[in-house]
Amino acid sequence: TQEFTNLVAVVTGGASGIGAAIAARLHEQGASVAVLDLRPEGADAAHFAVQANVADSASVEAAIAAVAEKFGRIDIVINNAGIGAQGTIESNDDDEWARVFNINVTGIARVTRAALPYLRVSPSAAVVNTSSIAATAGLPQRALYTASKGAVLSLTRAMAADHLREGIRVNCVNPGTADTPWVTGLLTKAADPVAERAALNARQPHGRLVAADEVADAVVYLASPRSGSTTGASIAVDGGMQNL
């Protein structure tokens, strides 16, 4: 079945990793997909790729206007763009806190705000945010990142409440460590990437990294009318890590 036929989806960070997997799944299910990414050249040719920085209001407004002009509607917003940050509260300074929050948290508000006029008139409006296992696990050496992803979880619930009566559902997905260019890029910097990957796999409850497609399947469910009674919720796709 093509459950997104005639619907238009915006996927931020859709040129790589989890976002690329989400864009592919939505497209398979009949959606017209617009990828908003800092580096849109990585996007699949099947999608409408727009260069955009979620940390910049003018850039986001121009990108959403370009999508609306191209397709005439926006039904689904997937706020997936995000960056990592390592360190404790001592190693990340105020500028770094502002930079990461501006991308990971304010970026979600910015993109969704720009799309709201379209979502309000959609018969099938859904927003799905990419949070992280970091939102609920007190990971060491990740103070800034975990705080930003905790904020994504809270923001998801607040947005769900604010837009409930407008027929706009807002949910999030909390991936565990996923096999994406972000993570493989970090592995290649290790002294022994093969041993490091084996160690990373061993740290996962199910002995392997989460597949980007597994995250995408949860996101597609939350974006589809099949989850019509679900808003303000989060789905963990983490092999059970949140329970440890």
Q: State the burial class of residue 226 (Cβ atoms within 10 Å of its Cβ: 0-12, 13-18, 19+).
A: exposed
| Residue 48: DSSP 8-state | E
Closest CA to 234 of 156, 159, 124, 119: 156
| Interface region with ligand NAD, contact rule CB under 6 A, candidates 114-122, 172-180, 188-196, 226-234 | 172-180
Amino acid at 136: T
Q: Nearest distance from residue 41's CB to ligand NAD, in Å?
A: 10
Q: Are 178 and 241 in contact (CB under 8 A)?
A: no
Sign of CA dihedral 235, 35, 71, 63: positive
Structural element, H or E, at residue 194:
helix 193-203
| Interface region with ligand NAD, contact rule CB under 6 A, candidates 25-33, 76-84, 163-171, 222-230 | 76-84
Please identify, using beta-carbon distances, which residue of 38 and 124 lies nearer to ligand NAD.
38
Return the residue of 146, 156, 180, 227 that touches ligand NAD, per CB under 6 A.
180
| Interface region with ligand NAD, contact rule CB under 6 A, candidates 62-70, 80-88, 118-126, 218-226 | 80-88
Q: Would you name the residues annotated as active-site residues?
A: 145
| 231 touching ligand NAD, by CB under 6 A | no
Task: Please report, as ranges, the residues that interact with ligand NAD according to CB under 6 A.
Answer: 12-13, 15-19, 37-39, 42, 52-55, 80-83, 103, 130, 132, 175, 177-178, 180-183
